[in-house]
């Protein structure tokens, strides 16, 4: 099965979304984007600017969501990827999103998250006892969810692969495709 569902919404990180779609396509995977509704999403770009204590946000490229959450059938996919940006802050309150990621976990399928995407996994209760990484300012949520924060670009723990930020893309996707191909040991 070479199919993955990518979870995001308005305020999702534009670069993370496009990079994911292109990487999966390059590897011959069918990647489908799921969001609250089927439409063109308003994505954002988070960047770092000297003199700012936090990241700045600008409008990013738009992204077509070809599925709404209600249409996701977990049995059709090998994995789920939860993107970062601001979208996870409200998606973690969506019962259908929580149900989707929990079902991937129950079925022993791959769960991937990058940057703020771990907020969804924390809300779903999927991180207790796991080693994970994420954007550094999400670390308190990771630890409150019972996980151990690891300050590395990419961390694999069982069937969970996490990445810090879009700057982690090279190591994050190397790990993802090594795991999906069975060429790396599950740690």
Question: Comparing C-alpha atoms, which of 173, 122, 175, 115 is closest to residue 147?
Answer: 122
Spatial separation of the C-alpha atoms in residues 81 and 124, rounded to whole Å: 14
- 167 Cβ neighbours under 8 A, 6+ residues apart: 153
Spatial separation of the C-alpha atoms in residues 39 and 147, rounded to whole Å: 34
**Whether residue 116 lies in the annotated active site:** yes
What are the DSSP calls for 94-108, one per residue? Answer: -HHHHHHHHHHHHTT
Spatial separation of the C-alpha atoms in residues 143 and 138, rounded to whole Å: 9
Cβ burial of 94 (10 Å; 0-12, 13-18, 19+) is middle
**Considering 22, 46, 116, 169, which one is annotated as catalytic?**
116
Spatial separation of the C-alpha atoms in residues 30 and 23, rounded to whole Å: 10
Are the beta carbons of 144 and 128 closer than 8 angstroms?
Answer: no
Residues assigned a catalytic role: 116
């Amino acid at each position: 099965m070479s199919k993955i569902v990518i979870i995001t919404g308005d305020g999702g990180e534009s670069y993370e979304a496009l990079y994911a779609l292109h990487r999966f396509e390059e590897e011959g995977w069918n990647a489908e984007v799921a969001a609250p509704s089927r439409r063109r999403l308003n994505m954002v770009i988070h960047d770092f600017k000297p003199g700012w204590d936090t990241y700045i946000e600008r409008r990013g490229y738009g992204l077509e969501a070809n599925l709404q959450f209600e249409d996701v059938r977990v049995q059709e996919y090998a994995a789920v990827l939860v993107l970062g940006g601001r979208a996870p802050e409200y998606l973690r309150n969506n019962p259908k999103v929580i149900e989707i990621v929990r079902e991937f976990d129950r079925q022993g399928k791959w769960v991937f998250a990058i940057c703020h995407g771990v907020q969804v996994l924390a809300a779903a209760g999927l991180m207790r006892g796991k080693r994970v990484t994420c954007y550094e300012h999400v670390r308190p949520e990771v630890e409150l969810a019972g996980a151990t924060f690891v300050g590395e670009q990419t961390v694999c723990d069982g069937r969970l692969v996490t990445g810090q930020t879009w700057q982690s893309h090279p190591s994050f996707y190397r790990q993802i495709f090594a795991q999906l191909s069975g060429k790396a040991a599950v740690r």
